[in-house]
Structure 1
Amino acid sequence: MSRLREEAAALALAWQFLTRVPLPVAVTYTPERMAASQAWLPAVGLGIGVIGAAVLVAAAVVLPAVPAVLLSIAATVALTGAFHEDGLADTFDGVGGGPDITRRLTIMKDSRIGTYGAVGLGLVLALKASSLAGLGPVGSPCLVAATLVAGHGASRASAMLVVMTSGYVRDDGTGKFTARGLGRRGVVLVGAVGLAALLILFAAAGAGAAAAGLAGLMAGHLLARSLFERQLGGYTGDCLGATQQLSEVGLYLGLLAWI
């Protein structure tokens, strides 16, 4: 029972970390619980995807594909407080504008958005909206909804893959709690959510679509890492946000290419 309570507390902390939705019960913070919570981040991603999918399906009853998709994206951005989008923009600004690692990390901490961040964020949001809307005429609201759920869960598993295979480069920051790594328990939980996301795609569109979505996600993952790992020598919390965003849009594009 004590183990279950600790896992519930870790899940609650993961929810509070990724979203702005308050929980009806207070959860006591400890560094150990926060470190354990990272394994639940992809599961929270599935929940965020479910909420985005519900908005999409409801909007699609009375609206065409494009505004329905935009409302869905707006809902998930509001739900998370643009947490990952901010990380994406900061990463683009840092790796695009800094002459050395110290300067890049300093730029990434600046709350102001620069040219690289604004252009990169705009392009990624446009690609998300256009790819999801593009699935509408050839699929259905249910297919797009399933894609949203899978994309939000699998892309956060992709970000955790960075934690498993790279090193945290700051002495502090929002991502500091990931520096301890995931451990066996975390790897199992993250892998289970990643597999569940692929099974959702498989059930909605078939094995080929799931494979294409996975290929697109991995392309986005590798693109993100090519941007920051050589420039920073590892990752920061912002880089995890960038990985999530590029992996998510990669999955959507891969699926659209197959469909």
Structure 2
Amino acid sequence: MSTHTNPASREWQAFWLAIGFLTRIPMLTQIDYSQRLMNQSSLYFPVVGLLLGACYVGAYTLLTLAFSPLISIVLVVILHLWLTGAFHEDGLADSVDALGGGYTLEKRLEIMKDSRIGTYGTAALVMALVLKVALLAEASPVWLGLLAAPMVARLTPLLIMGYLPYVTDPDKSKSKPVADGFSRTRLAIAATFTVFASLVLVLYEPWLLLWGLCATLGVALVWGSYLRSQLGGYTGDTLGASVVFSELVLLLGLTI
């Protein structure tokens, strides 16, 4: 990246790089790509989640004009899979395949790198999608689940990166640049943004903020501890799985 790029321009590029990393949305600015910029982009993961959530709320609002709430939710989930390229769901399937079918660290990492999906991964993916549709159908209000869950859930992988080491082949992982030299300062900024944005969204139901924080920290702690025992750290796929788990736990709170 050019040494003459000013800080504001670097942050703008980092924001668009985060969008390009997590979604199919085209980056509407020229990116002077570097590993450092990729690392900086992690700050904006919750922001990207909020933007995705806004897209889902808009789509749901329009779809309910023509279809039932359940059909609209299914269509929004399909939109989500297209917009994100099933990025996190792919991580879930690969993680469950590896952790369910591998009996050594080397075998688990080998399975995780395999592009094919196995029985464990298929079962986990199907159940996760079915559960997500069911939870959204029962959520009250639905718009809050669609808007807040994608934002808050994308803080979870940053928390895991903050206290676990990165393990996998460094030359073959898409998340390697994000993992290298991960900044805890930027993690704190991302967490602060997420908390304040959540506070605004759930002002009329303060307990939902507490639930969201506990769910995010809980998934990061439980899933992170399991990854430490099974892998000795995290991989890009396991970070994707953490987003899916967090969304499901967060949505569960909206059904209570």
Deviations 1:19-61 (A, max 9, x none): 1111233212111111111121121111111111111111122
Which segment is superposed worse, 208-217 or 167-176?
208-217
Which segment is superposed worse, 221-230 or 101-110?
221-230
Equivalent in the alignment of 2:235: 236
Equivalent in the alignment of 1:169: 167
Partner amino acid, structure 2, of 1:235: Y
Equivalent in the alignment of 1:120: 124
Which segment is superposed worse, 49-58 or 241-250?
49-58
Structure 1 residue 179: deviation in Å? 2.6
Partner amino acid, structure 2, of 1:242: A
- The answer to which structure has the higher helix fraction is 1
1:188-203, aligned counterparts within 5 Å? 188-203=188-203
Q: Tell me whether 1:25 sits opposite 2:23 in the alignment.
A: no
* Contact persistence 1:35–1:180 (CA under 8 A): yes
Structure 1 residue 62: deviation in Å? 2.4
C-alpha RMSD of the superposition: 1.8
Q: Tell me whether 1:41 sits opposite 2:45 in the alignment.
A: yes
* Contact persistence 2:60–2:73 (CA under 8 A): yes
Partner amino acid, structure 1, of 2:189: L
Deviations 1:85-123 (A, max 9, x none): 000000000000001000000001111110110111111
% of aligned pairs identical? 36
Q: 1:148 aligns with which of 128, 142, 146?
A: 146
Partner amino acid, structure 1, of 2:109: L
Unaligned runs of 5+ residues in structure 1 are none
User: Normalized against structure 2, the TM-score is what?
Assistant: 0.91
* Contact persistence 2:164–2:224 (CA under 8 A): no
Paired residue secondary structure (1:234): coil
Unaligned runs of 5+ residues in structure 2 are none
Paired residue secondary structure (1:252): helix
Structure 1 residue 239: deviation in Å? 0.5
Aligned partners of 1:252, 1:119: CA distance in 2, in Å?
Answer: 20
Q: 1:71 aligns with which of 58, 71, 75?
A: 75
* Contact persistence 2:148–2:201 (CA under 8 A): yes
